[in-house]
Structures are given as structure tokens and as C-alpha cells.
Chain A
Amino acid sequence: MEYETVIGLETHVQLKTKSKMWCGCANEFGAPPNTNVCPVCLGMPGVLPVANEEGLRLTTLTGYLLNCSVPRFAKFDRKNYFYPDAPKNYQITQYDKPSTVSGYVDFEFNGGISRVRITRAHLEEDVGKNFHFDRNSGVDFNRAGVPLLEIVSEPDITSADMAYEYLNALKDILIYGGVSDCDMEKGMVRCDVNVSVRPVGQKELGAKIEIKNMNSFSGVRKALEYEIPRQIAVVSKGGKLSQETRRWDDVAGITETMRTKEQAHDYRYFPEPDLMPFEPTEAWLEDVSKRVVELPLARKQRFMSAYQLPASDAQTFVWDVPLGTYFEQAVTGAKNPKAVANWVINNLRAKLAETQTALADTKVKPSSIPELVALVDSGKISGKIAQDVFAEMFATGEAPAKIVEAKGLAQVSDTGAIEKLCDEAIAANSKTVEDYKSGKVAALNSLKGQVMKLSKGKANPALVGEILEKKLKS
């Protein structure tokens, strides 16, 4: 019998705010333990949470980026459970009225575009971090109260690889939108995986197994690569799986039972009485929507279709947004977008790196790039001369036509002038001329080089070849 896999992901992402969600402490990674703390995020007696408005904005912005709808009424709830890293022993989260619902993420997978639907993205708070020493344990509360977005997908994912690509696409979108830095090393993204298997054609879902607290995308893929065959093996031998929570042991490369359904927590959610419901106004939403950016995939597709760029060039402009923006300014009205892209990617970017210059500080005007391309394409200058012109553009910011004019770099296509130079070269290299005449065809190149040298590189190389051949054969 054939089996299919059903996967849904709950992804927790730290939001990129200056301060924590309910207090003024810095949202900052790497500070010494318990230095970014105050009575509020330590859950001292008598304190109250006050919502960080930027946290609310980034939540709504994420909703827009993930094509979600944004309800006009959202609220916060308390999720009750005891754990040493939880300062209040409840977590402030959004239970039945989240800030954003019903969206989707499109991403490239298996040579096509796949879509995973998003159930909801809701705001909650991070907890502290437990440390275990030889004889005792400690908790660092620097992370407690950092705004966290939980992005819940529909069970639309069908393989470990698809889960991996979805997570990467999600990460790109969030970094792109300025919502999160998604730095995995700093624990900014964490994942719970829900996975089940069923015979192909069966409508009911199999027993839902949750793998908790994954902190890398490759870990998610590895855990699924282990877990899916494990489940299929059990079911195909007539065994029965039951709902449970498992943990991934990265060293052993296996998943193991953490708690069964009977041991599941009753979180006793109820509305957080210390916070008012969140009811955004149209003006507020309008403000947030101004921060929506073009998504990576859409940008790539647009660069490919609007400018006929190859996928690799388009991808470069997706990863390097300012460079892409520069390209778009440069390419306006250009006849040869691919050549403009080549100059921007191969020359401008390289030169910026070489001189450690920021793109914003470059003297090269975007309009100069298509000018340069046009000079080459029209035969006004050679590709080699163009390199020198570009170096001058980069140094001075001067327009290419002016440089060519000022330095007399225009290609010489005047037949009379070139014939004169050819005669000089032939006269000065009688040995080479002999070689050519005795059948060494390569000797022509040497003569050509001599002519180019005499013209200081400005002679039209095609014309030089033509005239030399004519003269030597006559």
C-alpha cells in the first residue's frame, strides 16, 4: 500500500523591535544573563503589561506579507502552565481572536510554484532560557517578553523537502519585510512540526504526532526524514499510532516520545484582563500597509519577465535589494537590459566590493550604465575600452560619453587612418609578414596587435583585420 504524508508547521519567529513586547527592556541577543530585565518581564508582584506598538505593527505587517486578512478585532489571552522559564507561569498569547488569519505562502519547489496556506499568525511573548549546571540550574530572563510571532500553517506540506523549502521561503519573506532577522544561531526561529501518514486515498488524517522545539530548518528536514518512514513502518505492519508529542534527538538522529495525549496540558486559556482588545483603525492599518514590500518570489518573477533576465540575475537582485533597485533605475529606457544587468552585477558590484564602497555612496549615476552599453553596442567604443571608461566613471562619476570624448577614446573606423597604421605595422615587421605569407595564419594576429597598439586601442578591431588581410594578400 502507498502512503502519503501530511505535515503542518508552527513557526515561532522573534520580531525585530527595539524593546520587548510589554516593557521597555532591550530586545537584544547576547547580553550577560539577566541584564535586560525589569520588574515587568521578571513577573514581579503588581506589574502590568503594556503593548509595544511596533510589535503590533510588525504582526499586522506579517499578516499582509503572508496574504492574510487582518480582523478589526483581536485580543490577548493567558495560556496557563508552570515552567521555570515562564516568569508569570502564564504566557500572554492570542487564542481565539488572533491579529491575522487565512493567508498563504507561494514558493519555488520541484521546478514549479507550491502554495502552503497559513491558518494564522498571532502575537505572543517569548519565555526565558533555562541553564543546567553541575549542581544547580539557572534561568536567564533576557529573552522573556520578547515579541514572538507564531505562524501556523495548514497541513498542506507533503514531504520533508517541501517543509524545508517552505521554511526557507517564509524566512526570506520575513527578512525581506523587515519583520525579523530570522537568525537561527540566535534562536530567532523555532519550529513545531505536526506530521501524520495515511494510505493514499484515505480521507481521515492519521494520528497527529507533534515534534517540538526544532531550532534549525535542516533539523526539521532530518527529523521528518526519520519520522515519516517510522510512522509508515508502524502503520504498514498493521500497528496503530496515537496522538503524542515527540522530541528530536539530533545526535542520535531519532525522535522519541515526550508526552502522550493523556499527559497533554490543559492550558486553561482565558482573556488577558490586563490588556484591552486590539481594534486597529483604518488609518493605523493604512500606515502599516505602506511598509509592505514586494515579496522575493514576485520580485524574481517580475525581473525575469520585465527585463528578460535569466533566473540567476533575477535572484541576485532579489537577494541584494538595493542593487536591484539601482538596476531598475539604470534599466529605464535601455535597449539591452541584459547588458545593463551584466555591468551592474559583474562590474559595479565587484568594484564596490573591491573599494569597500556602499552602493549608496557610488558616484556612478544609474543613467550612465545604459549610456555605456549604448556606446559599446553602437561600435563607438570597444568592449575593452569600455572597461577603462567604466573605471573612470567609477572614480569620477563623469558620464561615459564625456570620458570617451575628453580622452579621445572613440573607436577609429576611418579606413584611411587605419590603412596608414597598417602600412606602418607591415613596414616595421617584415619577419612577421614573411611568416604570414609562408602560411602561418596566426602571424596575422600579431600584426593586428601591433596596429591596435599604434592606435592606442581605439582602432576598430574588425576593420583592422579586414584591411591587413587585404594588404597582405595583394
Chain B
Amino acid sequence: MLNQLTISELTAKVARKEVSAREVMQSCLDQIGRIDGQIHAFLSYDAADALAQADALDKVVAGGAAANRPLLGAPIGIKDVLAVKGQPLNCASKILGKFVSPYDATVIQRLKAAGAIVFGRLNMDEFAMGSSTENSAFGVTRNPWDTSRIPGGSSGGSAAAVAADECLAALGTDTGGSIRQPAALCGCVGLKPTYGRVSRYGLVAFASSLDQIGPFTKDVRDAAMLLEVLSGVDHADSTSVPQPVPHYAAGLTGEIKGLKIGLPKEYMVGGLDPEVNQAVQNAVKQLQQLGAEVIEISLPHTDYAVATYYIVATAEASANLARFDGIRYGARVEGSDPISLYGNTRGAGFGAEVKRRIILGTYVLSSGYYDAYYLRAQKVRTLIRQDFLKAFEKVDVIVTPTSPTAAFKIGEKSDDPLQMYLSDIFTISCNLAGICGVSLPCGFTANPKLPIGLQVLGKPFGEETLLKVAHAYEQSTRWHKEKPIGKLTRR
């Protein structure tokens, strides 16, 4: 089935006119029709627009002008936090009402220019705040491997859609693990680029200094291909970095002999599930067999990462979300004066977790508390970054579990924010340090069979090496070939 192809498999076929973009798009739409009722990865999708894009690409191919379109005909699903011109933009929140984006995010422009079909609004935790997609105002997304479980979050819809072959790849965003953790829990590849690698223009900000956009794919090669398209400096984002963009896919040689892999001793924590631990240990052995050298390293400030993150991220969020006020766009609940209009609108429009974080962020920035919380957190953040930079003097990449457990049950942690926050314990430091990281499948739990993710962390702008290691490992295993689909269609 065409929807099960990877991008690298598909684009060659489209270019050779063996398959049309329309056929592959239709195949994804058929799959969504078959199974999305059980998963609810998509909040909405515009089938007519998607097919029109496909037809336009087929015309380009027929006209012989398909060169320089590395993603030719690939249907790519979009997390509901990224602006696509003419499509709804809700951030899985009620507060945006019937908002339709008047512009394309830079990544969307780049995908379109590369020949991708950009479609669908993928479910997420409201404003990307959460680790389970249970915080969506429009219903939870279910894990394709076990629909009684969460897909991870916040980019749960993106991970589930790719894992269930509803699209060939998807875009998500990662502020504290929101790409890598759901990728791990759904059994796909999820990459968070170095801060500044990919333009954030058109990404509705949660925490501006931590957010990055990245791809969900079915294998590492596709992640490399997508990253190459997404990357590069953008005049619309001052925090994007003018660092040259390598030909990432060309670096996937399978050759990792002599590369040094660091294992942080601080990451072997109590809450780590034994099956997850075992899978990661096996992966490390596999990497050794491939010729990598494994070295124990220390990241001494690891314990402070979660606390630091919840100060920095919520502070920025409290300002970023202030614009949702009912004045210029989105839902409005009237009031007798501006202040009551704000209160009514935001009270009705935001969900509980978003409110919790806005209040937390407002508190840590308040006069008299700023130095003790925000300023202190920024100092600790610098120490955490230094931990990594020091470690990377000794090793090329760092390997850890992506998440301490496999997918948990819907509702299991939703009443305990702290437990929920701890599910990001291995992914959060990467955002604070501004480095890059990828999660890829490294095994399954026994019963039920649930995917386990391996996290590989790389140096700032070290995506080439990161992807090389991930690819070498992936190609020496079969984990990425496993599909949850059989389970779904049996239902």
C-alpha cells in the first residue's frame, strides 16, 4: 500500500511516473477513513485541498519540471500549532475559535517548495503543553499500538498518524520532548533539531527559547531528507542561525567505527522501567558491535532540569499566550469592560493545564520573585548547557532512553501533573541546552507489545553525526519495520 512507503521509496516512484502524487494522497486519505475513528490523530483535514496539491504536482511531473523537489508527492501531516495559509490554526485549544491562518509558516513554505503535499491538522496537547495529548480541547489521540493508551505528547497526533501510516511523515514541535517522547511511544523516528537550525516563524510559541520544529518519519533516512528541507537561516526568525545546511542523507554511511558514545550515569534513575532499561542496554551493545566506543559520562546538573524547565518554559508561555485575548481574533466571551472580557474569554478558552502554566509563569516573573526563580533558572540552564558541551568534548553523541516507560494508560497520570512532568525527564535537558536529539525504535515491551524509544543526543548543529549513528543502528535492526496496523484493522 502506497501510504506505507517511506519518502525515499516514494519520491523515486513519483519521479519515474510509476505512481502519481494523487494515488499516494488518496491512499493516505483512505487509511485515515479506515482507522482514524479509532485513533483520532487528525483534528481535521482538507481532502479537496490535499488532492488539488497532488494534482498540481502530477502536472509538474508531466511537464518534466520535477527536479529539485526532494519530497515530491509526499503527503506530510501538520501539527495544529503550525500556520498553514487558509487552514484552521487552533493549537488544540478552544480559544482560537474559527481562526484560519492568513500566512504560511516558513517550514510550510519550504515543504511546499520541496514538492510535499501539506495537509491535515494533527492533534496535540493544548498549546503543546503536555506529554500525553490528553490536554487537547478536542479529545485525546489514542496510541495505534494499544488504543487504551496515550500516544505521548505534546505531538501525539503527529506520532500516531505516522505510526498508523495515515501520512508518510509529519511535522511536530519539541519544547521539552514533545517530538521525541511521542515518537518513542508510537514507534517512529522523531527528531528535534538544534535550537536555531529550523525557523520558528509560523510556530505558535509555547516557550520561545526552547521550541523547535522537527520531523516524524518512518525511518532515519526520511528524517535526514526532511531536516535538509526544513533547515537553514530565515530572515523572518532572528533566532535562526546562518549555519550551512549539510546534505544530511549523504552522511548516512552506516559507518560508525571509532565514534565515541556517551552514557550519562545520572540517567539510570529509579523510575526507569526494567524493559525500557533492557532495550536501551541492548541497543548500546549493538552500537558497540558496530564499532562504536562506549564511554560513561556525567551530566551533574541533570536533577535540576525538570524544575528549571518548568520555570523558564512557563515564564515565556505566560507572555506568549497573552495575545489570546478575544480582541483581534479567536473566540470572545464579552464583558462589561476590557478586563472582564479578558477574564471571560481566557477563562472559557484555555484548558486547566494551560491555565496552570500561565499562572506559574506569571508568578515566577513577578516583582520580588524574579531573581529567586527566573534569574536563578537561567543560571542553572547555563550550567546544564555547560554539562553537555563538556561531555561533547569527550564523546560524539550521547545515548539514553527517550522516556522512562512505554505508553501509559489514558487517564493514568492526568490527575498528577508532577508524574506527568517526570515522563519528560530524559528529553528536557536537550531543549535547555539547545542541542539536537532524535528518538528511534529500539524494541518493544513484552505484554502488551508497546514500542520503546532510544534517544541519541548530539552536539549543537551536530545533526549529521546524530543521524549517522541513528541510521547505522536502525539498519542493523528490524524494529522500524514493525507496524501496529494489523491490530487496528482486526478490531
Contacts and interface: CB of A to CB of B under 8 A. Distances in A.
B323 interface: yes
Contacts of B89: 45-46
A44 B102 contact: yes
B446 interface: no
4 nearest A-B residue pairs (beta carbon): A89-B322, A273-B208, A268-B365, A273-B209
B323 to A, nearest CB: 5
Contacts of A87: 323, 328
A325 to B, nearest CB: 39
Contacts, number: 102
A132 to B, nearest CB: 12
A47 interface: yes
Given A46-B89, A84-B338, A275 B238 contact: yes
A46 B91 CA distance: 10
Q: Which of B89, B96, B325, B327 has the largest count of A CB atoms less than 10 A from its CB? A: B327
A50 B238 contact: yes
Nearest to A88: B323
A45 B204 contact: yes
Given A43-B328, A268-B366, 20 more contacts: A39-B102, A45-B83, A45-B99, A46-B101, A46-B203, A48-B237, A48-B238, A50-B236, A80-B318, A84-B325, A89-B323, A89-B325, A90-B319, A141-B328, A266-B366, A268-B318, A270-B319, A270-B370, A273-B207, A274-B208
Nearest to A276: B238
Contacts of A266: 366-367
A48 B240 CA distance: 11
Contacts of A42: 328
A275 B102 CA distance: 23
A78 interface: yes
A82 B325 contact: yes
Contacts of A295: none
19 contacts: A39-B102, A42-B328, A44-B101, A45-B83, A45-B91, A46-B83, A48-B201, A50-B235, A80-B318, A80-B365, A88-B323, A266-B366, A268-B365, A268-B366, A268-B370, A273-B208, A274-B208, A274-B238, A275-B239
Interface string B75-100: 00000011100000101000010010
Given A45-B91, A46-B203, A89-B322, A51 B365 contact: no
B342 interface: yes
Contacts of A270: 315-316, 319, 365, 370, 374
B201 A47 contact: yes
A80 B319 contact: yes
A47 B202 CA distance: 6
Contacts of A71: none
Contacts of B82: 46
Given A42-B328, A50-B236, A87-B328, A273 B102 contact: no
Interface of A: 39, 42-51, 78, 80, 82-84, 87-90, 139, 141, 266, 268-270, 273-276
Interface of B: 81-83, 89, 91, 96, 99, 101-103, 105, 200-205, 207-209, 235-239, 315-316, 318-319, 322-325, 327-329, 338-339, 342, 362, 365-367, 370, 374
A273 B328 CA distance: 23
B236 A48 contact: yes
B142 to A, nearest CB: 27
Contacts of B203: 46
Contacts of A274: 205, 208, 238-239
A273 B320 CA distance: 10
Contacts of B200: 48
A46 B323 contact: no
Contacts of A275: 238-239
Q: Which of B91, B235, B365 has the largest count of A CB atoms less than 10 A from its CB? A: B365
A90 B366 CA distance: 14
A139 B338 CA distance: 12
A268 B362 contact: yes
A320 B126 CA distance: 61
Contacts of B204: 45-46
A43 B330 CA distance: 12
Contacts of A49: 238
B319 A82 contact: no
A47 B82 CA distance: 10
A141 B342 CA distance: 19
Nearest to B315: A270
A273 B325 CA distance: 21
A50 B323 CA distance: 18
Contacts of A47: 103, 201-202
B217 to A, nearest CB: 23
B204 to A, nearest CB: 4
Contacts of B319: 78, 80, 88-90, 268, 270
B239 A276 contact: yes
B137 to A, nearest CB: 15
A39 B236 CA distance: 12
Contacts of B96: 45
A20 to B, nearest CB: 14
Contacts of A48: 200-201, 236-239
B380 to A, nearest CB: 16
A39 B103 CA distance: 8
A90 B316 CA distance: 11
Contacts of B362: 268
A83 B339 CA distance: 8
Contacts of B81: 46
B322 A273 contact: no
B208 to A, nearest CB: 4
